[in-house]
A = this chain, B = another copy of it.
Amino acid sequence: MHFTLTMPDWADEELRNLPASLPTVEDRMAAVIRFSRLNIEHDTGGPFDAGVFERDSGKPLMIGVNRVMAHQISSAHAEIMTLSLAQQMLGTYDLGGPSLPAYQFVVNWRPCAMCFGATLWSGIRSLVIAGSGPELEQITGFDEGPVHPEWKAELAKRGIELIEDVLKDEAMAVYRQFADSHAFIYNARLGNAT
């Protein structure tokens, strides 16, 4: 028994075309948000994306996209995809291992209840998010689940730096685009039915 989770073909192409370094956290978040937009425009998954970068050099290691619907597997969130692919590339389940540079995890919103745990287990040293408020759920209707009330303290306890509110408006623009396109799809179906 096995299961395989894939990235869409367009993402492989986009990954090859990334610059060798994305110096600032804004550069890195912009790349992640670009993937989130492409993922909904190609209809290959939800509007959630995540990237692993070398924190100090800005070298991109992996940007992964949400593949829940594509594979019909509920844990195929962008964070799980990205961390797993990054760990596979490096051959280690611990991205914070002693011989490795510090890795930074860049996500276009606060990770959900599951992915917050996955973040803690991955060995990343820094977490950059576009936002953490109720806007995501309000715009998209997605349930982010019961993230631990002391999530910031839990990150700090494990030595994981947190950088918040990076390109928040840009991230939210993609959620609005997603919500609008789904409204269109529902209307189209309704149109067929009447």
Chain A residues packing against B (C-beta within 8 Å): 1-7, 11-12, 15, 62, 64, 68-69, 71-76, 80, 83-85, 87-88, 91-94, 112-118, 120-123, 145-151, 154
Q: Could you tell me the distance between the alpha carbons of A37 and B64 in the complex, rounded to whole angstroms?
A: 35
A-B contact pairs, 22 of them (CB 8 A): A1-B11, A1-B12, A1-B64, A2-B6, A72-B91, A74-B84, A74-B94, A74-B121, A75-B80, A75-B122, A76-B84, A80-B80, A112-B121, A114-B116, A114-B118, A114-B120, A117-B145, A145-B154, A146-B148, A146-B150, A147-B148, A149-B149
* Residue pair A92, B72 in contact (C-beta under 8 Å): yes
Leading 10 A-B pairs by shortest Cβ distance: A114-B117, A113-B117, A2-B6, A1-B7, A74-B121, A74-B93, A4-B4, A146-B148, A146-B154, A72-B93
- Could you say which residues of chain B place their CB within 8 Å of the CB of A116? 113-114, 117
